[in-house]
Amino acid sequence: MTAPASQLPKVSIVIPSYKAEHFEQCLRSAIGQSYPHTEILVSDNCPTDAIEQICARFPGVLYQRNTVIRTDNVLSALYSGKGHYIKPLFDDDILHPFCVERMVTAMTGRDEVQLVFSASQVIDARNDRLETRRPYQANGTLTGRDLHRSMVLGMQNFIGEFSSIMFRRDKLWQIGWQRLFALGPHDCTRGLADVAAYLNLVEGGSAFYIDEELSYFRRDPVLQSNSNPHANPDFGYCFSDYFDLLLASHTLGVVSDEELLAQEPSVAAARARLAPLFSQVEQSYQRYLAYAAPLKG
């Protein structure tokens, strides 16, 4: 980055926060970015003042107290960013020091790229490495349609959590907060909100993958986290939403009749494995059967 900082696109690093245990490490990773033109915004709904006290020690951090929880706090943080690009960071995750710089570089000169994501690492409460997530073996671009189809037909989120992405603010506002976590007729707010957001953010454009480990997702089963099935009463929707996203994608013309019907063995296998644990899965499976039945004639 050779241009003066003020001439570079501003990046808003937005941190929806609730858990204080690892928050200072998270915040320090945002402050320590090599990219020189950022704003750091913390949207805090922690039940104590622990996060507020940490933020007070770091001049320049934009702090806002929030009364809404879970996905509403995420939306509040995302739509509060004023930068050209929005870089989400969850309160116990960590960014590599070059994360923002690499992502801005990937988007520079590629106007069709709406979202950037990268390889990432899962870490535990002690920052020990647990799992490297590397969906591709080289940098590259995917069309929004190809990304959509790969995620829905593969029933997988190969991008990862919000901490692994950056996207354009103008696309966020084009979608609108009411629709960011919905796809077609299906609302994913209680489950795969991140997947629905990614599909919306790349619609009509493309995504760019960086084959570098630029973020660290913390898996701490002790904490109250949406990724912890013992703490999140809606965890079953993280599985059942894949069935409903498949139906929504067919409604939108992204998945064909033949492809929808060809998914039945995979849907049935997932139902057999997960329905005994999560009632939402059985409900979505019955919706799939009812939706697919007329297409078999």
| Domain stop point among 154, 187, 218 | 218
pTM score, whole prediction:
0.93
Neighbours of 133 (CB within 10 A): 17
Instruction: Give the rounded percent of residues in the chain with a pLDDT score beyond 90.
Output: 87
pLDDT value at 113 more than 80: yes
Q: Are residues 209 and 247 in the same domain?
A: no
Contact 81, 166 (CB under 8 A): no
Q: Which pLDDT tens digit goes with each residue over 4-55?
A: 777 899 999 999 999 999 999 999 999 999 999 999 999 999 899 999 999 9
Tokens of 38: 């950022």
Q: Is the domain of 205 the same as that of 243?
A: no
- Tell whether 198 and 246 lie within a shared domain: no
Q: What is the pLDDT of residues 234-257, one digit of tens each?
A: 788 999 999 999 999 999 999 999
Establish if 173 belongs to a structural domain: yes
CA 284 to chain centre: 22
Whether 84 and 173 share a structural domain:
yes
The number of distinct structural domains making up the chain is 2
Same structural domain, 210 and 253: no
Confidence of residue 129 (pLDDT cuts 50, 70, 90): very high
Is 174 or 224 the better-scoring residue by pLDDT?
A: 174
- Determine, yes or no, domain membership for 17: yes
| 256 and 187 co-located in one domain | no
- According to the model, what pLDDT value does residue 69 have? 66
- With respect to residue 231, please indicate whether it lies within any of the assigned structural domains: no
Instruction: Give the mean pLDDT of the chain.
Output: 93
**What's the confidence (pLDDT) of residue 1?**
53
Q: Is the pLDDT of residue 230 over 60?
A: no
pLDDT the model gives residue 142 = 96
Domain range spanning residue 248?
A: 237-292
Q: How far apart are CA 38 and CA 8, in angstroms?
A: 10
Residue 195, both tokens: 């997947």
Going by C-alpha positions, the residue among 129, 60, 138 that lies closest to residue 106 is 138
Does one domain contain both 158 and 244?
no
User: Which 3 state secondary structure label does DSSP give 241?
Assistant: helix
Q: Which pLDDT does position 158 carry in this prediction?
A: 96
43 and 110 belong to one structural domain: yes
Query: Are residues 213 and 137 part of one domain?
Result: yes
pLDDT of residue 297: 72
The pLDDT, as a whole number, for residue 229 is 52
Which among 165, 188, 218 is the end of a domain?
218
State the average pLDDT over residues 88-102. Answer: 97
Per-residue pLDDT at 68? 66
Do residues 100 and 168 share a domain? yes
At residue 227, the pLDDT reads 52
Tell me, yes or no, whether 4 lies in a domain: no
- Beta-carbon contacts of residue 168 (< 8 Å; ≥ 6 apart): 84, 85, 86, 107, 114, 115
Kindly state whether residue 229 falls inside one of the protein's structural domains. no
Is 189 inside any structural domain? yes
Residue 100 sits in a domain whose CATH number is 3.90.550.10
For residue 158, count other CB atoms closer than 10 A to its CB: 15
pLDDT at 112 over 60: yes
- pLDDT for residue 42: 96
Q: What is the 3-state secondary structure (H, E, C) of 63-104?
A: EEECCCCHHHHHHHHHHHCCCCEEEECCCCCEECCCHHHHHH
Note whether 258 and 158 are same-domain residues.
no
- What pLDDT shows up at residue 50? 95
Contact 219, 124 (CB under 8 A): yes
Residue 296: band (very low, low, confident or very high) from pLDDT cuts 50, 70, 90: confident
Q: What is the pLDDT of residues 160-177, one digit of tens each?
A: 999 999 999 999 999 999
Q: Please say if the pLDDT value at position 71 is more than 90.
A: no
pLDDT digits (tens, 9 = 90+) for 187-196: 999 999 999 9
Same domain, 57 and 89: yes
